[in-house]
Structure 1
Amino acid sequence: MQANAYLTFNGRCEAAFKFYEQHLGGKIVAMMNHEGLPPEDKAQLPPEMLNAILHARLDLGSTVIMGSDAFAGRYEKPQGFSVSLLVDTPEEAERVFGALSENGSVLMPIEETFWAIRFGMVTDQFGIPWMVNCEKSLG
């Protein structure tokens, strides 16, 4: 069994996934919009939804992040969770945190903590909350 994050966006899923692919080092393996639906399903959609992302998938190491644009008028701001990234080096933590902070909102600056060489919390420019963690040795 594997648990993965599924993120919902307010019309910016495509831009977010391209940003994540570039800055997190993943690979987009699926990105489809509503335009590709069968005609009978597409006919039921408001025209502004045709270019909205129906489903996206980013392979990120051994994990997956998936997402879509919310249906028109049904977007809700993400709350009550963060996507947690575990990175191997403090340099990688600084780089990733810096990228996610670009036009975002830093909740906790990246710094050393009692459990981590580097840890920080940020909400990115797409409204997604992240935690970047480079743990200290647990031994």
Structure 2
Amino acid sequence: MVVQPYVFFNGRCEEALDYYCAKLGAQVTFKMRYKEAPPDPQNQPRPGLEEKIMHANVRMGSTDWMASDGHCDPAATMNGFSLSLTADDDASAKQFFNALADGGQVTLPFQPTFWSKGFGMVVDRFGLMWMVTVPDS
């Protein structure tokens, strides 16, 4: 069994993926826009979604996750979950944390804790909550 996060960016998927690729080393391994999907008369996308991302596969380190623009619903919010990014070393963890904090909101500054040499929490510019940690080894 495999469980993977599937993140909906409410119309900002392309921007988010470009940012994660540039700042976190993510790789988009597959991307399909709504206009590229086979026609389905029973489930046609809303006009204006043609260039939006219907589905993308993303690789970050050894983790694969999925992303989409979703239905671009202005009332949509992201809450109830967080992505946890475990860095290989303190310098990388601080770099990742600072990249995610740029344009976002720090909810817990990156700092040593009783369980880690460094841990911080941030909601990035796309509304996605991240927990960045470096192992205490």
TM norm. shorter chain > 0.5: yes
- Taking the aligned partners of 2:77 and 2:42, their CA distance within structure 1 comes to 26
Residue 111 (str. 1) matches residue 117 (str. 2)? no
**More helix by percentage:** 1
Aligned-residue RMSD, C-alpha? 1.8
Give the number of aligned pairs: 137
Q: Distance in 1 between matches of 2:78 and 2:33?
A: 21
TM-score by length of 2: 0.91
The answer to whether the aligner puts 1:130 opposite 2:125 as a matched pair is: no
| CA deviation string 1:19-76 (max 9, x = no partner) | 1111111211111110102244598222211111100111112111211012143752
Moved more, 57-66 or 116-125: 57-66
- Give the whole-Å Cα distance in 2 for the aligned partners of 1:34 and 1:41: 14
**TM-score of the aligned structures, taking structure 1 as reference length:** 0.90
Instruction: Tell whether the 8 Å contact from 1:105 to 1:124 is kept in structure 2 after alignment.
Output: yes
Amino acid at match of 1:91: A
Report the more deviating stretch, 53-62 or 39-48.
39-48
Structure 2 CA distance for partners of 1:61 and 1:75, relative to 1, 3 Å: farther
In 2 relative to 1, CA 44–85 (structure 1 residues): closer, same or farther, beyond 3 Å?
same
- Cα distance in 2, alignment partners of residues 109 and 135 from structure 1: 17
* Unaligned stretches of 5+ residues in structure 2: none
Shift of 1:3: 2.1
SS in 2 for 1:130: strand
Q: Residues 10 and 73 of structure 2 are in contact (CA less than 8 Å); yes or no, is this contact kept in structure 1?
A: no
State the identity %: 39
Residue of structure 2 equivalent to 1:49: 49
The aligned counterpart of 2:3 is 3
Q: Residue 133 of structure 2: SS of its match in structure 1?
A: strand
Q: Secondary structure at the match of 1:88?
A: coil
